[in-house]
Amino acid sequence: MEISALTRSVVKRNHAVISPDGYINSRVPGWDNCTVNVIINEQMGANLCQTLITMNWDGKLVGTTKASQLFFYVISGRCRATVGTQSDMLTTGQFVYIPIGKSYTFDKPEAGTQLLTFHKVYEKLDGYDVPPVIFGDAANVAGPMYMGDPALRLQVLLPDDLSFDMAVNIFTYDPGGHLPLVETHIMEHGLIYLQGQGVYRLDQDWYPIKKGDSIWMAPYCQQWFTAMGKEPAVYIYYKNVNRFPT
């Protein structure tokens, strides 16, 4: 029998593991006929927001980006995305980056479609334009090996350009693959597992992690991961980049 007083979710000062067993839904104005779980937010000490949206057959998201840029990624299912004058049907693995000051609509979903969002307050860089709207497909993004290890592959979904102050990458680890070192860095991460399982080290703690789990890592939260099981472990993650370290 399950014991409802237990959870794998953990929230600490500089990291969190959020497993779906702890989800409580939020009502977000403009995002209708859908379930919204705000997984990472400034309320926990983060500088980014990460949500998971599950759309009903009549789900519809309408809004205009203000201080924060938004990145939408289709975890499963399909829906239509319209940003400004661009409109396209998005399916699993496809994404859209919405810079500040743009109106958007997501509608016509297949029931149960799941969308991941990352939100970051945009920091404009003198001499650079605000980035454009980008529609993309992870299937078309190359995944070169990471730090010379063929067991690790990294797909960089957004352009490597100083006008962007956020990166979104997909990291794939073959079973047994692991980060080559314990990372200790100024950048912050939010992530969700798309596939597989493994063990994540966050500071001095080790956590079993699997598909559907999310992690927040504050700046300087020490991090390391090894993949376990029979299939590759895959996560999509956010990282703040390209700005002067004040």
Catalog residues that contact ligand UGY under the rule CB under 6 A: 171, 183, 189, 223, 237, 239
Q: d(Cα 40, Cα 245) in Å, to the nearest integer? A: 23
Which of Mn ion, ligand UGY, none does 173 bind, CB closer than 5 to 8 A by kind?
Answer: none
Nearer of residues 83 and 170 to ligand UGY, judged by Cβ? 170
As measured in angstroms, the least distance from the Cβ of 213 to ligand UGY is 14
Q: d(Cα 71, Cα 118) in Å, to the nearest integer? A: 5
According to CB under 5 A, which one of 32, 107, 149, 183 is a site residue for Mn ion? 183
Q: d(Cα 24, Cα 42) in Å, to the nearest integer? A: 17
Burial status of residue 34 (CB atoms within 10 A of its CB: 0-12, 13-18, 19 or more)? buried
What are the tokens at 128?
A: 């650079």
| Residue of 190, 181, 191 whose CA lies nearest to 222 | 181
As measured in angstroms, the least distance from the Cβ of 143 to ligand UGY is 14
Nearer of residues 16 and 36 to Mn ion, judged by Cβ? 16
CA pseudo-torsion sign 27, 30, 33, 35? negative
Nearer of residues 104 and 207 to ligand UGY, judged by Cβ? 207
As measured in angstroms, the least distance from the Cβ of 78 to ligand UGY is 28
Residue 149 interacts with Mn ion (CB under 5 A): yes or no: no
What are the tokens at 16?
A: 């969190």
Nearer of residues 3 and 147 to Mn ion, judged by Cβ? 147
Q: d(Cα 97, Cα 133) in Å, to the nearest integer? A: 6
Nearer of residues 50 and 223 to ligand UGY, judged by Cβ? 223
Nearer of residues 32 and 183 to Mn ion, judged by Cβ? 183
| CB of 89 closer than 8 Å to CB of 76 | no
Nearest residue relative to ligand UGY (C-beta): 223
| CB of 46 closer than 8 Å to CB of 216 | yes
As measured in angstroms, the least distance from the Cβ of 187 to Mn ion is 6
- Cα distances (Å, whole numbers) of residue 105 to 64, 83, 151, 173: 9, 7, 38, 34
* CB atoms closer than 10 angstroms to residue 149: 14
Which of Mn ion, ligand UGY, none does 171 bind, CB closer than 5 to 8 A by kind?
Answer: ligand UGY
Give the angle 161-132-164 at the CA atoms, nearest 5°.
Answer: 30
Nearest residue relative to Mn ion (C-beta): 183
As measured in angstroms, the least distance from the Cβ of 171 to ligand UGY is 5
Which span sits near Mn ion by CB under 5 A: 25-33, 82-90, 113-121, 175-183? 175-183
As measured in angstroms, the least distance from the Cβ of 210 to ligand UGY is 16
As measured in angstroms, the least distance from the Cβ of 22 to ligand UGY is 22
Q: Which residues bind Mn ion (CB under 5 A)?
A: 183
